[in-house]
Structure 1
Amino acid sequence: MYPGNTFDPADASWLAHRYEPVRDQLLYRYVPRELHQNGPFLTDELIGKQPEHVLDRETALAAARGHAAPLHFIFHSAFCASTMLVRALDLPGAAMGLSEPVLLNDVTGIRRRGERTGPDLARLLDHAMALLARPWSPGESVIVKPSNILCGLQRPMLALRPDSRAILLHAPLRTFLASVARKGLWCRLWARELLEGLLHDGLVELGFQPADYFRQSDLQVAAVGWLAQQRQFALLTQHFPDRVRSLDSEALMADPARVTSAAAAWFGLPAERFSNHAALTRHSKSGQPFSTGDRAEEQAAAIAAHGDEIDKVHAWAVVLAERSGIPMALPYPLLR
Structure 2
Amino acid sequence: MALTFDDLFTSPDHYLQSFEADHATFVPMDRAAYHRSIFLDRRISPAHEERLAIPVDALVPRIPPAQPTSWIFHMAHCGSTLLARALDDSGAGLVLREPLALRQSAIRRDGALLRLSLAMASKRYRPDAPTLVKANVPVNFLLPDIAAADTTARAILLYLPLRPYLLAILRNEDHRVWLRNVTTQLAPYLGDWSAYGDAQRAAALWVAQATAFAETLAALPNARTLNAEVFFADPVPVLTAAAVHLGLPNDRAALERAVAGPLFSTYSKNPGVAFDNTARLAREAAVAAAIAPDLAIAEDWAARHPARAALDAALANAALSR
Task: Confirm or deny a common fold (TM above 0.5).
Answer: yes
TM-score category by the smaller chain? 0.7 to 0.9
Aligned to 2:255: 275
Match of 1:132 among 111, 121, 125: 121
Deviation for aligned residue 1:19: 2.5
- 1:108 pairs with one of 86, 106, 109: 106
1:190 corresponds to: 178
Amino acid at match of 2:222: R
Q: Distance in 1 between matches of 2:63 and 2:91?
A: 20
1:264 aligns with 2:262: no
With over 3 angstroms needed to count, the CA separation of the structure-2 counterparts of 1:171 and 1:323, relative to structure 1, is closer
Aligned match of 1:246 in 198, 214, 225? 225
TM (normalized to structure 1)? 0.81
Aligned residue for 2:205, secondary structure, equals helix
1:273-312 correspondence runs (5 A): 273=252, 275-276=255-256, 277=258, 278=261, 279-288=263-272, 289-310=274-295, 312=296
The equivalent of 1:53 in structure 2 is 52
1: CA distance between counterparts of 2:131 and 2:89? 10
**Number of aligned residue pairs:** 310
Residue aligning to 1:333: 319
**Structure 1: 4+ residue segments shifted above 6 A:** 61-64
Compute the RMSD of aligned alpha carbons.
3.0
1:16 paired with 2:16, answer yes
Q: What one-letter code is carried by the residue in structure 2 that aligns with 1:28?
A: F
Between the aligned partners of 2:28 and 2:90, the Cα distance in structure 1 is 18
Give 2:178's aligned amino acid: W
Give how far 1:76 is off: 0.6
Distance (whole Å) between structure 1 residues aligned to residue 127 and residue 62 of structure 2: 16
Between the aligned residues of both structures, percent identity stands at: 27
Return 5+ residue gaps in structure 2 as ranges: none
Counterpart code for 1:72: S
Q: Corresponding residue for 1:181?
A: 170
In structure 2, relative to structure 1, the CA distance for the partners of 1:63 and 1:136 (3 Å cut) is farther
CA drift at 1:307:
2.9
Q: 1:261 to 1:245 in 2, by over 3 A?
A: same
Tell me the alpha carbon deviations over residues 271-316 of structure 1, each in whole angstroms, 9 at most, x when there is no partner: 3345222544442111145321121122122123223432x13431
Is 155-164 or 322-331 further displaced after alignment?
Answer: 322-331
Q: TM-score, normalised by structure 2?
A: 0.84
**Range moving further from structure 2, 264-273 or 89-98:** 89-98
Which residues in structure 2 correspond to 1:32-47 (within 5 Å)?
Answer: 32-47=30-45
Identify the residue that residue 207 of structure 1 maps to in structure 2.
none
